[in-house]
Structures are given as C-alpha cells and as structure tokens.
C-alpha cells in the first residue's frame, strides 16, 4: 500500500511540475480564462486541483504546430504554407522584393524574345 501511495505522489508531483513549467512558459496572450499570474498561483497553492484546472481550462488550445517568427500566420497563397517555409516579416519589403522579381522576369522574357527575333531575321525569309 505504501508503494501505491508513493507512486501516486510521484505522479502528482510530476503533473504539478509539468503544469507549472507549462504555465510559466506560455505566452500571456494565449492563456485562457484567467491571467497567467493567477494560473501560476493556483498551481502553486493547490498542486493537484490547480494542475488539473490548468490542463482543462487554462492551457492554450493547440492550433497546429508552432511557427517561427519568420513563418506566415495565414499565407496569401496556401499552397506555399508548409512548416519551415520562411516569409518576410515586413510586408512592404516583401512587396518590393516581388516587384523586383517581376521586373527581372519581364526583362529576361524580353531579352529571350529579342534573341529569337534576331535568330529568325538572321535565318532570312523562308524559301518556298
């Protein structure tokens, strides 16, 4: 019977530590129902009940994998939304970069068309 009580104590302690670390590490704006400090105090003062309450009512709801600061929250083009894909943090710089890419592509397209036109002119009119 003592072993079972010890095991329960270890499980409650592990749950308490997990919930305390999780509450401390969670961003304040993602905590639900109570302020972050209130949750930490609740977990500290009432280890078992506070831990269960944190898991049920305070912990942020999982909204998929965490994204880095350079990943898009809601991409303009969902086909490019995959984990690890970096995106510009500043939309103005992103728009400027895309404008430069379009200009470069248009210049290359024009250069290719001019080259093909010159080749056709060098070959002369078709004989027939």
**What confidence tens digit (pLDDT) does each residue in 74-127 have?**
556 555 556 556 666 777 888 888 899 999 999 999 999 999 999 988 887 666
Lowest mean pLDDT among 9-13, 26-30, 41-45: 26-30
Q: Which helix (H) or strand (E) holds 37?
A: helix 36-45
pLDDT(128) > 60: no
User: Would you give the end-to-end CA distance of the chain in angstroms?
Assistant: 105
The answer to whether 88 and 97 are in contact (CB under 8 A) is yes
For the entire predicted model, the pTM comes to: 0.48
């Amino acid at each position: 019977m003592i072993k079972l009580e010890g095991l329960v104590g270890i499980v409650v302690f592990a749950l308490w530590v997990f919930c305390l670390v999780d509450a401390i590490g969670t961003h304040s704006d993602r905590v639900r129902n109570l302020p972050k400090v209130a949750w930490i105090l609740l977990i500290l003062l009432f280890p078992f009940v506070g831990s269960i309450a944190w898991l049920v009512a305070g912990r942020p709801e999982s909204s998929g994998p965490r994204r880095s600061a350079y990943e898009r929250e809601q991409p303009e083009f969902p086909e490019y939304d995959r984990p690890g894909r970096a995106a510009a943090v500043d939309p103005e710089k992103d728009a400027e970069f895309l404008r430069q890419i379009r200009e470069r592509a248009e210049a290359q397209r024009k250069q290719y068309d001019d080259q093909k036109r010159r080749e056709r002119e060098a070959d002369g009119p078709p004989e027939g």
